[in-house]
């Protein structure tokens, strides 16, 4: 039996197409049937809200969602990593429990899709429904709660050459056990990818082999790259704070990383990957930006509040956009961010960069994120035929005809999130 739902709102902002004042969206069997301005007396009127595409959080670590506040100290970076390792060893919740906490937080804050780095084979899955973040009796409170769709980036770790075979075995088994992204039209709750973690934790041979697997399975691949100046020193000279930390962990191999290496050595192999993600990219140099501009399918994922937490130099995200480099947004984990709300990332950027085009800002949190994860054909904008992945945003009770000024007004919150029209 066909399931139909019609919603009306003060503004509907499709991202692909102009905003519609007093717009209507029709949903049938979990997909968008129409978006228009015609009055429908049978529509559920949500009132003074904006309906936007559900947000796409391209980078996080949900297994760290049990962290109540960012870990200290943020500097030096390796001290923060040590604190992270200590947290994993001492916490009282399981990874699966932490993932469930984070998955629900992402859903309640507007995200229907999440790029999640996973460390083992235990993860929570479920179907798509509303994630309610509204008080009892709210107009949209008839919907039941559920979760988000996760692109799982299986983390690979191994700086020693003798770890290569076991890590590749894990990677292949992971990809073989999941539905490939390239064949998805109405996705399950999880989709597969790989994440050779970072240059300081992955042998170059393991990285190149992971790239080959991503090409073979047409899977997305994410790598943390150019995250800190200490990483650049390690690549270039084989010295610095990372050496002390890796020695302490018993994994330092002086010959693993050729001297004179740089992030560009890790960017070049990504040219053949279908959906490569460069996580952070805080310290990419001009030559590396030139390379990314020549290969716009390689997307950088910028995590604004995490970037601020670590007190990095200003991120070149606006220069990247000017040069046509693929860019999307993420929250990173609760170990470096007070919450997992991509909506709060957008508001943070709006406050920090009031001159930045708000149309592009919303695009970064929606359709650009969907393109980064390789799912923009089915989500990321409100157009007929796409999955009904929506977020409902409160608007200020004030006059105004500029939908973007109303949308990004301080204090606006996510009221609810719809994933696949409220049911699978």
| pLDDT tens digits, 244-302 | 999 999 999 999 999 999 999 999 999 999 999 999 999 999 999 999 999 999 999 99
Q: What are phi and psi of 97, to 5 degrees?
A: -65, -40
Phi, psi of 349 (to 5 degrees): -65, -35
Paired tokens of 280: 């952070």
363 is a domain residue: yes
Kindly list the distances between the CA atom of residue 413 and the CA atoms of 272, 275, 324, 409, in Å, as whole numbers in the listed order.
Answer: 40, 31, 31, 10
Please, which residues bridge with residue 188 across strands? none
Q: Residue 247: enclosing H or E segment and its boundaries? A: helix 241-249
- Condensed to tens digits (0 to 9), the pLDDT of residues 70-99 reads 999 999 999 999 999 999 999 999 999 999
The answer as to whether 331 is a domain residue is: yes
Q: Taking all residues of the chain, what is their mean pLDDT, rounded to a whole number?
A: 91
Residue 27 lies in a domain: no
CATH code of the domain containing 258: 3.20.20.140
Q: What does the alpha-carbon distance between residue 41 and residue 413 come to, in Å, rounded to a whole number? A: 27
Asked if the structure places residue 416 within a domain, the reply is: no
8 A C-beta contact, residue 385 and residue 399: no
User: What would the mean pLDDT of 351-367 be, rounded to a whole number?
Assistant: 98
**42, pLDDT greater than 80:** yes
- Cis before 205? omega within 30: no
35, part of any domain: no
Q: Say yes or no to pLDDT of 125 above 60.
A: no
Mind listing the pLDDT tens digit for each residue in 16-26? 999 999 999 99
Partners of 149 in the β-ladder: 113
Does residue 40 fall inside a structural domain? no
Higher pLDDT, 178 or 407: 407
- Tell me if 91 is assigned to some domain: yes
Q: Which residues pair with 302 in a beta bridge?
A: 329
Phi-psi region of 339 (alpha: psi -120 to 50; beta: other; left: phi over 0): beta
**Quick check: 291 and 324 in contact, CB under 8 A?**
no
Domain count of the fold of the chain = 1
Give the whole-angstrom CA distance, residue 149 versus residue 423. 12
Domain of 134, in residue numbers: 53-380
101: which 2 tokens? 């906490």
Residue 391: inside a domain, yes or no? Answer: no
How do strand 326-329 and strand 55-60 relate by DSSP bridges?
Answer: unpaired
pTM of structure: 0.92
| H-assigned helices in 115-192 | 164-176
Q: Cα angle at 60 between 182 and 335, to 5 degrees?
A: 165
**Torsion sign (Cα): 33, 38, 39, 40:** negative
- End-to-end CA distance of the chain: give it in Å, rounded: 13
């Amino acid at each position: 039996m066909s399931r139909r739902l019609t919603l009306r709102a003060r503004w509907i902002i499709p991202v692909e197409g102009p905003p519609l004042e007093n717009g209507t969206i029709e949903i049938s069997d979990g997909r968008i049937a129409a978006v228009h301005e015609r009055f429908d007396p049978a529509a559920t009127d949500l009132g003074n809200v904006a309906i936007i595409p559900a947000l796409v959080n391209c980078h996080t670590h949900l297994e760290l969602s049990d962290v109540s506040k960012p870990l200290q100290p943020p500097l030096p970076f390796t001290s923060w990593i040590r604190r992270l390792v200590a947290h994993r060893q001492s916490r009282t919740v399981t990874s699966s429990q932490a993932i469930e906490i984070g998955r629900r937080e992402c859903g309640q804050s507007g995200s229907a899709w999440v790029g999640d780095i996973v460390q083992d084979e235990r993860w929570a899955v479920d179907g798509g429904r509303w994630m309610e973040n509204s008080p009892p009796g709210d107009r949209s409170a008839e919907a039941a709660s559920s979760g988000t769709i996760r692109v799982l980036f299986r983390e690979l770790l191994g700086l020693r050459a003798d770890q290569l075979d076991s890590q590749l075995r894990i990677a292949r088994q992971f990809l073989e056990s999941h539905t490939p992204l390239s064949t998805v039209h109405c996705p399950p709750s999880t989709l597969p990818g790989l994440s050779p973690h970072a240059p300081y934790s992955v042998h170059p041979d393991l990285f190149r082999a992971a790239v080959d697997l991503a090409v073979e399975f047409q899977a997305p691949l994410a790598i943390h790259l150019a995250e800190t100046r200490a990483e650049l020193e390690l690549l270039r000279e084989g010295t610095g704070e990372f050496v002390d930390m890796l020695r302490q962990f018993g994994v330092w191999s002086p010959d693993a990383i050729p001297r004179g290496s740089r992030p560009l050595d890790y960017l070049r192999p990504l040219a053949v990957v279908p959906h490569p993600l460069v996580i952070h990219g805080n310290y990419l140099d001009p030559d590396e930006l030139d390379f990314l501009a020549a290969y716009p399918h390689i997307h950088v994922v910028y995590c604004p509040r995490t970037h601020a937490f670590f007190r990095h130099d200003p991120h070149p995200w606006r220069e990247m956009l000017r040069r046509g480099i693929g860019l999307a947004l993420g929250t990173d984990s609760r170990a470096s961010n007070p919450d997992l709300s991509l909506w709060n990332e957008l508001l943070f950027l709006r406050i920090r960069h009031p001159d930045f085009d708000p149309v592009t800002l919303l695009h970064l949190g929606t359709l650009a994120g969907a393109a980064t994860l390789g799912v923009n054909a089915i989500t990321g904008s409100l157009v007929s035929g796409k999955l009904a992945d929506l977020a409902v945003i409160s608007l200020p009770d004030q006059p105004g005809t500029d939908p973007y000024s109303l949308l990004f007004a301080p204090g606006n919150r996510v009221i609810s999130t719809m994933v696949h029209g409220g049911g699978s």
